[in-house]
């Protein structure tokens, strides 16, 4: 069964989710990959605020391909989340509540997820064309010079994700591995 969550992702909504839950997200998510994270962090150090409201925000680690004629966005599959691990704790401390990507997260990110009541959602890698069908609007926000790595505001409807790491730090990657190794 899929849970439906309307964004922004409030702390109460995040705390109601558990590792392994399948979720359909609807509302606003922001895109940011390596280059955008690095620029945001550098600007924060210079006293320049992040170019979007971080309160209860969800960041999707994606660099969408160009939209074909008549389309809102091109293929929009997740990138490896671990590449953003050095910046994620700071963004969580600033109010970001959720992250969407693929792959494992570092112990430091898991601790920050616990501390700030965040959620790490997984999206299916290799399914970018299908995921793009759940994006109903795409607008540039900042850093357009970064091309596909620019920050964009996406409006999503029933965007399918799975809770990989919940607010308590329960990690589906570790849990699944343990079950596999135990032969269950």
Instruction: Identify the pLDDT of residue 175.
Output: 76
Instruction: Identify the pLDDT of residue 184.
Output: 60
**CATH number, residue 31:** 3.20.130.10
Q: Is the pTM of this model over 0.85?
A: yes
Cα–Cα distances (Å) from 184 to 6, 73, 178, in that order, read: 35, 41, 9
pLDDT, tens digit (0-9, with 9 covering 90-100), for 89-118: 999 999 999 999 999 999 999 999 999 999
**Structural domain tally of the chain?**
1
Confidence of residue 182 (pLDDT cuts 50, 70, 90): low
Query: Do residues 84 and 62 make contact, with C-beta atoms less than 8 angstroms apart?
Result: no
Check whether 132 has a pLDDT greater than 90.
Answer: yes
Check whether 41 has a pLDDT greater than 90.
Answer: yes
Query: For residue 56, what are the domain limits?
Result: 2-182
Please state whether 93 falls in left (phi above 0), alpha (psi between -120 and 50) or beta.
Answer: alpha
């Amino acid at each position: 069964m899929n849970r439906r969550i309307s964004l922004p992702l409030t702390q109460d909504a995040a705390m109601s989710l558990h590792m392994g839950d399948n979720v359909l997200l609807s509302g606003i998510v922001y895109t940011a990959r390596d280059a955008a994270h690095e620029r945001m962090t550098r600007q924060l150090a210079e006293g320049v605020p992040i170019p979007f409201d971080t309160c209860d925000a969800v960041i999707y680690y994606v660099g969408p391909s160009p939209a074909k004629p008549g389309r809102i966005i091109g293929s929009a599959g997740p990138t490896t989340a671990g590449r953003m691990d050095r910046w994620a704790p700071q963004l969580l401390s600033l109010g970001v509540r959720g992250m969407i990507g693929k792959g494992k997260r570092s112990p430091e990110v898991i601790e920050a997820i616990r501390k700030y009541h965040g959620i790490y959602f997984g999206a299916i890698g290799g399914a970018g064309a299908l995921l793009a069908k759940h994006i109903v609007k795409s607008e540039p926000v900042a850093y357009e010079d970064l091309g596909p790595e620019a920050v964009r505001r996406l409006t999503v409807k029933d965007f399918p994700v799975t809770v990989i790491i919940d607010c308590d730090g329960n990690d589906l990657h570790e849990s699944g591995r343990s079950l596999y190794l135990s032969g269950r």
